[in-house]
């Protein structure tokens, strides 16, 4: 069945949703208030760095199943049989999700609707939002609008793979007809479908991200313990991950999680729990551990190099993870200012990442430029370029003692040490410890 679909918001989630549904043969219009973005997309270029997205964008544009529009001429003609909301829900200073863009979009659509349609929430919104929006906007519309919560579980850098090979599709709706429409929409995807009520679907999204964040903070605490007792986190993670009840995923220790989702969603869930009179103690600890973990490189370097103020440190990686240009909540944004605070000279480098405000630090044009004369290098992002470095050459350009702090436990410590460098990591046996002086 071919459906007429509209996706409001061409950010990361909206663009992937629109392009993939158009690729399935649906008739898709992606809408955004930013005319520059719309022009770029119409020309077949993607504003985000995501492997495979540009190819699919061009294919669907050529095939005529994908269109882009701004709402300048009004919303009425833009509303599809199924209209997705995929606008941003950034973190507000209180930690709550800022729903102003969601409210504006839902309000505009409900006001403009001249016939019934299905409104699907793809933006990550806290539990209870669907009920609030329905009571406030959908109930006041002239036509019946069915509300569906359909959270996304896409990882940046692997979005297309995750769309077509997802572990589950979640549909939260009270209207059985809307559930049928959603099933038809995803009929080409082979995946279990969880059909539930709106509040439960909203909670599944937050609980998933909170659980994965918990796994990361847990393994990071175990890694810190490994450092203290002389155990090796790689063996420990493998040993526990082989237990099918635990699973091997998200047990990579390091300097903690970043990105546009985990930090924001854990804080928003904590906020919504507090607002509902519930003290989510475990989640608060997960957030605290992650905040502390980011500063590990600074703690290690300050101990190993008492004259850190007279040293240059290369910070390698600004993206919050590899295969993305996204610098939102990158650990580098905490590490760099703290190194500067310690008096160090900081040079950063990233092969892809978007510009990031790091006053006082110099951004190098190449990894070699960044490493030249640096006494220490901190791996913040596990880009292949860093994993494949020629460590003999690294040793020759760095200043003594040549510390490599592997914030992602992604390098081979033995090779680095054999090249005459000092290898530090998070909970890895054989790596130098924070209390070692160089
Ligand atoms: C995450 C979830 O994985 C997606 O399922 C979800 O849809 C998405 O958030 C979202 O809510 O939109 P993403 O933020 O793209 O996806 O990134 P992940 O690959 O999950 O990594 C998040 C952070 O955790 C990164 O900083 C990564 O370096 C870190 N991480 C991940 C670890 O430190 N250790 C691990 O073992 C795994």
Tell me if 268 CB under 6 Å of ligand 1. Answer: no
Query: From atom 12 of ligand 1, which residue's Cα is the shortest distance away?
Result: 261
Phi-psi sector, 329: left (phi>0), alpha (psi -120 to 50), beta: left
379 lines ligand 1 (CB under 6 A): no
Terminal CA-CA length for the chain: 66
Element (H, E) at 30: strand 27-31
pLDDT in tens, the chain (438 residues): 789 999 999 999 999 999 999 999 999 999 999 999 999 999 999 998 889 999 999 999 999 999 999 999 899 999 999 999 999 999 999 989 999 999 999 999 999 999 999 999 999 999 999 999 999 999 999 999 999 999 999 999 999 999 999 999 999 999 999 999 999 999 999 999 999 999 999 999 999 999 999 999 999 999 999 999 999 999 999 999 999 999 999 999 999 999 999 999 999 999 999 999 999 999 999 999 999 999 999 999 999 999 999 999 999 999 999 988 899 999 999 999 999 999 999 999 999 877 888 999 999 999 999 999 999 999 999 999 999 999 999 999 999 999 999 999 999 999 999 999 999 999 998 787 655 544
For 283, the enclosing helix (H) or strand (E) is helix 281-293
321 lines ligand 1 (CB under 6 A): yes
Place of tokens 């063996």: 235
Neighbours of 265 (CB within 10 A): 24
The CA 190 to ligand 1 mean position distance, Å, reads: 23
Chain center to CA of 216: 14
Q: Output the residue whose Cα is nearest ligand 1's atom 34.
A: 252
Q: Using the Cα atoms of residue 380, residue 313, residue 305 and residue 424 in order, give the sign of their dihedral.
A: positive
Q: Is residue 136 within 6 Å of ligand 1 at its C-beta? A: no
For atom 35 of ligand 1, which residue has the closest CA? 250
* Probe residue for ligand 1, chosen from 121, 321, 381, 409 as the CB with the greatest number of ligand atoms within 8 Å: 321
């Amino acid at each position: 069945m071919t459906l007429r679909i509209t996706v409001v918001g061409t950010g990361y989630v909206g663009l992937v949703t629109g392009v993939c549904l158009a690729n399935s043969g649906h008739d898709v219009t992606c809408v955004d208030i930013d005319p520059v973005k719309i022009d770029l997309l119409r020309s077949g270029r993607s504003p985000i760095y995501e492997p495979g997205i540009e190819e699919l964008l061009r294919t669907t544009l050529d095939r005529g199943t994908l269109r882009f529009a701004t709402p300048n001429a009004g919303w009425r003609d833009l509303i599809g049989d199924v209209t997705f909301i995929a606008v941003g829900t950034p973190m507000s200073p209180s930690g709550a999700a800022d729903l102003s863009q969601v409210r504006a979009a839902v309000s505009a659509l409900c006001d403009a609707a001249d016939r019934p349609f299905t409104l699907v929430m793809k933006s990550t919104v806290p539990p209870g939002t669907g009920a609030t929006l329905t009571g406030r906007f959908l109930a006041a519309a002239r036509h019946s609008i069915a509300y569906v919560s359909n959270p996304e579980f896409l990882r940046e850098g692997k979005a297309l793979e995750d769309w077509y090979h997802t572990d589950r599709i979640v549909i939260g709706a009270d209207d059985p007809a809307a559930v049928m429409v959603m099933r038809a929409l995803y009929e080409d995807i082979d995946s279990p479908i969880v059909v539930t009520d709106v509040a439960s679907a909203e909670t599944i999204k937050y609980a998933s991200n909170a659980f994965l964040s918990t796994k990361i903070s847990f393994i990071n605490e175990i890694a810190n313990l490994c450092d203290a007792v002389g155990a090796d986190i790689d063996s420990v993670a493998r040993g526990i991950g082989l237990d099918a009840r635990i699973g091997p995923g998200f047990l990579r220790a390091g300097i903690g999680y970043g990105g546009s989702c985990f930090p924001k969603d854990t804080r928003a869930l904590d906020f919504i729990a507090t607002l509902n009179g519930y003290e989510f103690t475990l989640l608060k600890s997960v957030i605290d551990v992650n905040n502390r973990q980011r500063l590990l490189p600074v703690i290690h370097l300050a101990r190993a190099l008492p004259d850190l103020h007279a040293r240059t440190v290369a910070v390698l990686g600004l993206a919050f993870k590899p295969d993305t240009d996204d610098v939102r909540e990158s650990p580098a944004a905490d590490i760099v200012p703290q190194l500067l605070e310690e008096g160090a000279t900081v040079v950063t480098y990233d092969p892809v990442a978007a510009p990031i405000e790091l006053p006082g630090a110099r951004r190098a044009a190449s990894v070699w430029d960044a490493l030249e004369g640096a006494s220490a290098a901190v791996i913040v992002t596990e880009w292949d370029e860093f994993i494949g470095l020629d460590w003999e050459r690294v040793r020759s350009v760095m200043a003594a003692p040549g510390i490599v702090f592997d914030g992602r436990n992604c390098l081979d410590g033995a090779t680095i040490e054999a090249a005459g460098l000092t290898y530090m990591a998070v909970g890895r046996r054989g790596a130098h410890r924070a209390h070692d002086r160089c």
